[in-house]
Structure 1
């Protein structure tokens, strides 16, 4: 038994060793006959080249008015992070991405913008800008690249107000260089805070230098939007005239004081001059409209229309948030003075935009709004400032950059549902002047008149309608500029805010 046991034991060992040897030989043969498959490498994840790109896309995806109409702003874009980052990395700069995400830019969306310095933007909301106080328009003759400018007004208490320059003055050169379509941005809106205007005049149907110059210096300046507030007593009528050049909440109290002054002087009619007002804060437009009236407290002034997802949320949860109502207080709850008028005369040009148009459109269902001048810009939308933070507010903002978005987020309709006035609000009475090609609309450069004077053409028309008496218009100069001209830019076009209507902050839907 013992010998058998050992034999079995050795047999098992021998068999095991033989099997091991065979198995190893087989593996060796297999390894010799075929390649061992390589383990596939895990691809490196795509990294984002510029974090601002994610901010730009996310902000527009969240709240942009036409988000649902831009395929590349669909929320599904973020489903795959590598694909999303690859998409963002295909753009060289945040500006390129922003512009490419807009809905029919220049046709439908003419006003959304991106800034790389939100400090300057915030200052503009308060009326603070780097300015010499000169408000002007640049124009050129048809078929020419040469440009000249004319002064529309001089801001009170500005550098320009202390210099020998006034409304109606023309300039042809800056620092002895002829203004052209190619150099005006650098000469007037570049880094040179001090420049010299070479003044000009109209002579023989052309613009020629006078030899006079004016040196102007830009500095941080806060322009009071209330340029003129006065009462004209004509043929038994006490006509209030208010020239208001921007809707800035910081000046709501001064606006209330101006209206109070007009009311205390017993005005019977009001002429509101918005011809150079590019817009501003929606709340200030509501406040001014409530001051003009007063008898419509808490009635619907305007209704808001947002992108599809926000509109659906508001309608289901907070429908009242879509309605702006006439008020009887300022934002700080100070009671406002109201004139309780049933008619107002509003002066407009193509430079009257956004919040200016909101006043006209919002008042129209309630009182007789007599619009005098030319058609307005045609901006019925409002924007909001988005910062690079979790909820797009300035709280915990990304410290690595100062980019901010100012996208259009809503459009306004009045109580009758009127909106989408793409071609502007049309005047009831159009102001015209004569050129070699016939009648032209707007202000005559050779006959601008003095703002607030009863003979200034725009105001004169309002006075005529109020009193039934034709006033004596400003005497035209001997030399007239009969050749048609083309508009280039206004000085306000280069302010950070431009012709914008904006709302306060944003509460994200959850």
Structure 2
């Protein structure tokens, strides 16, 4: 994998890049000092800088003008949010955090977790009340030990009905008790207006502990109707080297089994590492090595520097090896990729599928037949990275006076056809648009599970299941177990920065 490099002038004009304001370096930590870092970071990296007049290189005519601007914001958060582009439509993902240690831990997939992965939905006939449904259970967790299983329905926490306004508070404690309920559709699968949720007087107390989730939830080879079908439930594109060997080994198993087709289940996958997405796409294919998987569309300043000095660095090709390097260019991880050379893939999605999951779909589409099954994805084509307050915005020699860091969008990932503007998500063909059946979810990887069964029916040409023609109206998704994680839909480009650029 190429080293992440950007070539940028230190100061574009006298008053533009705020590294030129040396008088700021000596003041005690304050909102102004942190605001200075916020503006600098976004001025350099922000993908939509060209759309934000206050980030223009010629925005300030003097030091005083710039200093007054920083002083006009009461907090770093207020400044940061004022500089985002269409935060309700295009950029609802850029984040500022007061403690980068928390950010790093969340990006690595480590959190306090009781092991119950759930979704929260609202019935059409409900006022404010919402219900929870168990999506899956993580191994070696309290939820597994307490007998929680996929498909369980609950509507109270500690005896309190769950609503759109209180669920964040109810799920926040380290320990809480869920009240189970039964879902009755009144034998009308085509409508939700008469569905009823009835408490069944069963409660289960769950306790969170620190946990790092393995993104590979389950995988197997299904032999159905003479077809050998690989199935992989993948729940996160892990940042770092953890689980990469395991993912590659899954594809070695698929190779050995001689699978003819692959069903990649990304229905709950909010994203993660850009590198891992490139490698997974290369595992799925293998016949397109060196061809462009995706192109990086940065702001005009960075794009111009790339195009002048190293245009190939904007291109991310399919590869034959997984390789990671440190900031000195030393290889820290390397392994040959096990590839399937497929010309067609089935990918299961929901509104919880985002960023790197969408990159897989969008990046593969120009090359192979991608059959998307489920519902429309989240809609996030942009990558982000962590920006620290240091001389080159890297983690090394970070400013010891504060712990703030930024996680802004830095570029849009365009496929080989130049397409990246799917802000409303990627939708399946109407023939394959299917929602989960909450009253009978079935087990993930079971050939009879609703969404997987549709893929199998198409693979085996055994006749459509008829599921898509008997659709109940979809329930409104409110949130899931990751609601406290602002990075749950991140696509992170964590490739190292060169140490001699971005000097402040």
Which range, TM-score by smaller chain?
0.7 to 0.9
Q: Aligned to 2:35, which of 53, 74, 99? A: 53
- Contact 2:295–2:314 (CA<8 Å) still a contact in 1? yes
The answer for the alignment partner of 1:467 in structure 2 is: 460
- Contact 2:391–2:502 (CA<8 Å) still a contact in 1? no
Distance apart, 1:482 and its partner CA = 6.9
CA 1:431–1:419 in structure 2 vs 1: closer, same or farther (change >3 Å)?
Answer: same
The answer for the alignment partner of 1:194 in structure 2 is: 175
Distance, in Å, in 1 between the alignment partners of 2:311 and 2:471 is 54
Q: Aligned to 1:296, which of 288, 293, 308? A: 288
Distance, in Å, in 2 between the alignment partners of 1:320 and 1:261 is 34
The answer for the alignment partner of 1:13 in structure 2 is: none
Distance, in Å, in 2 between the alignment partners of 1:495 and 1:506 is 25
Distance, in Å, in 2 between the alignment partners of 1:372 and 1:129 is 30
Looking at secondary structure, tell me which structure has more helix per residue. Answer: 1
Given the alignment of the two structures, is residue 372 of structure 1 paired with residue 368 of structure 2, yes or no? no
Distance apart, 1:374 and its partner CA = 1.1
Distance, in Å, in 2 between the alignment partners of 1:231 and 1:290 is 20
Gaps of at least 5 residues in structure 1 are 1-44, 433-440, 475-479
- Contact 1:283–1:503 (CA<8 Å) still a contact in 2? yes
The answer for the alignment partner of 1:494 in structure 2 is: 484
Distance, in Å, in 2 between the alignment partners of 1:298 and 1:449 is 40
Largest Rg, 1 or 2: 1
- Choose between structure 1 and 2 for higher RCO, CA contacts under 8 A separated by at least 6 residues: 2
The answer for the alignment partner of 1:252 in structure 2 is: 244
Which stretch shows the higher mean deviation, 444-453 or 299-308?
A: 444-453
The answer for the alignment partner of 2:15 in structure 1 is: none
The answer for the alignment partner of 2:493 in structure 1 is: 503
CA 1:430–1:111 in structure 2 vs 1: closer, same or farther (change >3 Å)?
Answer: farther
CA 1:262–1:424 in structure 2 vs 1: closer, same or farther (change >3 Å)?
Answer: same
Given the alignment of the two structures, is residue 449 of structure 1 paired with residue 442 of structure 2, yes or no? yes
CA 1:233–1:300 in structure 2 vs 1: closer, same or farther (change >3 Å)?
Answer: same
- Contact 1:146–1:181 (CA<8 Å) still a contact in 2? yes
- Contact 2:387–2:405 (CA<8 Å) still a contact in 1? yes
The answer for the alignment partner of 1:32 in structure 2 is: none
- Contact 2:437–2:450 (CA<8 Å) still a contact in 1? no
Distance apart, 1:431 and its partner CA = 5.1
Distance, in Å, in 2 between the alignment partners of 1:458 and 1:140 is 21
The answer for the alignment partner of 1:171 in structure 2 is: 154
Which stretch shows the higher mean deviation, 383-392 or 484-493?
A: 484-493
Distance, in Å, in 2 between the alignment partners of 1:301 and 1:482 is 37
Which stretch shows the higher mean deviation, 77-86 or 331-340?
A: 77-86
**TM-score, structure 2 as length reference:** 0.85
SS in 2 for 1:214: strand
Q: Aligned to 1:221, which of 194, 211, 214? A: 211
Gaps of at least 5 residues in structure 2 are 1-22, 187-194, 324-332
* Structure 1 segment 223-242 matched on structure 2, within 5 A: 223-242=213-232
Q: CA-to-partner distance for each residue in 1:204-228, whole Å, 9 max, x for gaps?
A: 5211211111111111101000011
CA 1:335–1:484 in structure 2 vs 1: closer, same or farther (change >3 Å)?
Answer: closer
SS in 2 for 1:493: coil
Distance apart, 1:481 and its partner CA = 12
Distance apart, 1:486 and its partner CA = 2.0
The answer for the alignment partner of 2:133 in structure 1 is: 150
RMSD: 2.2
SS in 2 for 1:238: strand
Given the alignment of the two structures, is residue 65 of structure 1 paired with residue 47 of structure 2, yes or no? yes
